[in-house]
């Protein structure tokens, strides 16, 4: 339905105290295509920052190239909230052409929420070698350990998705200082492996993933994720004896018996088979016994 005749009335709803009316007006403009785009962009300089933010919401829903250009104008908005909204939407729309401008704000604007939004957007866009530019801002001397802790999780993700092998190796050399970010590190290793096959085979990176799996102080979710990542790759490439040793260590912990058995089953060999058989014989946990039986049924 062509609503252009009532755009002025709809736009007035952007200033309504009723959130439902505001959201519905945004939705109507979002479906209006070029006609709606022409109308709402004429109000980009509205005096109310909340209205300017709603205009960006509508532009995002329109999603055309011209709408993206209009959203970029939000990067220059005097309101931090509007600027952050523009960054988030440009990231979700994968607007590579806004990368340079975002990097400029990252360097010259120290507002934490804006920086956090920029890092998320740049990660989503995934432009090659973005990681190097970000590190030159957040860690000018190249030492990732000096990055402000509030940005560490996003920097880890950004490097895994946009960094080259040198950036990734540098990150994993620094992760000894980031033990509390176990889940992020494991995800980063998996993402880097998907992008750059052979990443996980790098000795330092493999060692970090194994260390997280073995770390009794790490979150259980991170440890499970580390084991699953190791299982997802050729055991021989990752040195069977190391994974066997890890599996044996995990058997000593009640909460890690299942991943320990998985590792042993993957590594195969007589010693692994004997340990799994011993568990099947001695355990009073029927679910664990069946799990062991299932893993070894093909052997």
Q: What is the pLDDT of residues 87-109, one digit of tens each?
A: 999 999 999 999 999 999 999 98
Position 58 scores a pLDDT of: 97
Q: What is the mean pLDDT of the chain?
A: 89
Per-position b or e across 36-70, b if 16+ CB within 10 A of its CB: bbebbbeebebeebebbbbbbbbbbbbeeeebbeb
User: In the predicted model, what is the mean pLDDT of residues 110-137?
Assistant: 92
The CA dihedral of 98, 99, 104, 105, to the nearest 10 degrees, is 70
Q: Assess whether pLDDT exceeds 70 at residue 298.
A: no
Question: Quick check: helix, strand or coil at residue 176?
Answer: helix
Q: How many CB atoms lie within 10 A of CB 27?
A: 13
Confidence of residue 5 (pLDDT cuts 50, 70, 90): confident
Question: Which residue did the predictor score with more confidence, 124 or 164?
Answer: 124
Report the alpha-carbon distance of residue 181 to residue 259 in Å, rounded: 20
Per-position b or e across 230-260, b if 16+ CB within 10 A of its CB: beebebeebebeebbebbeebbeeeebbbbb
Q: Are 116 and 151 in contact (CB under 8 A)?
A: yes
Percentage of the chain with pLDDT > 70? 96
Q: What is the pLDDT of residues 211-249, one digit of tens each?
A: 899 999 888 999 999 999 988 865 445 667 888 899 999
Q: Are 63 and 44 in contact (CB under 8 A)?
A: no
Which domains are seen in the chain, by residue range? 1-95 (1.25.10.10)
Q: Choose among 129, 132, 116, 66: nearest CA to 93.
A: 66
Position 179 scores a pLDDT of: 66
Q: What is the pLDDT of residues 164-208, one digit of tens each?
A: 888 888 888 887 666 688 889 999 999 998 888 888 878 788 888
Q: What is the pTM of this model?
A: 0.82
């Amino acid at each position: 339905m062509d609503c252009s005749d009532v755009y002025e009335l709809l736009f007035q709803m952007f200033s309504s105290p009723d959130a439902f009316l505001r959201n519905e007006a945004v939705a109507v403009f979002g479906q209006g295509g070029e006609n709606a785009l022409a109308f709402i962009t004429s109000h980009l300089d509205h005096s109310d920052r909340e209205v300017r933010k709603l205009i960006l919401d509508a532009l995002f829903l329109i999603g055309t190239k011209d709408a993206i250009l209009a959203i970029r104008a939000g990067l220059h908005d005097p309101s931090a909230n509007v600027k952050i909204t523009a960054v988030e939407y440009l990231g979700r729309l994968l607007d590579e052409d806004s990368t340079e401008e975002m990097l400029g704000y990252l360097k010259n604007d120290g507002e934490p929420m804006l920086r956090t939004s920029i890092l998320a957007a740049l990660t989503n866009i995934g432009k090659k070698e973005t990681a190097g530019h970000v590190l030159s801002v957040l860690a000018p001397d190249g030492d990732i350990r000096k990055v402000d802790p509030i940005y560490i999780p996003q920097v880890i993700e950004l490097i895994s998705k946009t960094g080259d092998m040198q950036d990734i190796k540098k990150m994993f050399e620094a992760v000894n200082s980031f033990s509390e970010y176990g889940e992020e590190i494991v995800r980063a290793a998996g993402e880097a492996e998907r992008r750059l096959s052979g990443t996980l085979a790098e000795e330092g990176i493999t060692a970090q993933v194994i260390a997280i799996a073995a770390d009794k102080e790490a979150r259980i979710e991170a440890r499970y994720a580390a084991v699953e990542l190791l299982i997802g790759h050729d055991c021989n490439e990752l040195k069977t004896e190391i994974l066997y040793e890890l599996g044996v260590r995990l058997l000593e912990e009640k909460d890690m018996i299942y991943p320990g058995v998985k590792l042993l089953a993957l590594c195969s060999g007589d010693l692994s088979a004997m340990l799994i058989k011993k568990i099947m014989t001695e355990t009073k946990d029927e679910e664990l016994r069946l799990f062991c039986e299932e893993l070894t049924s093909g052997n």
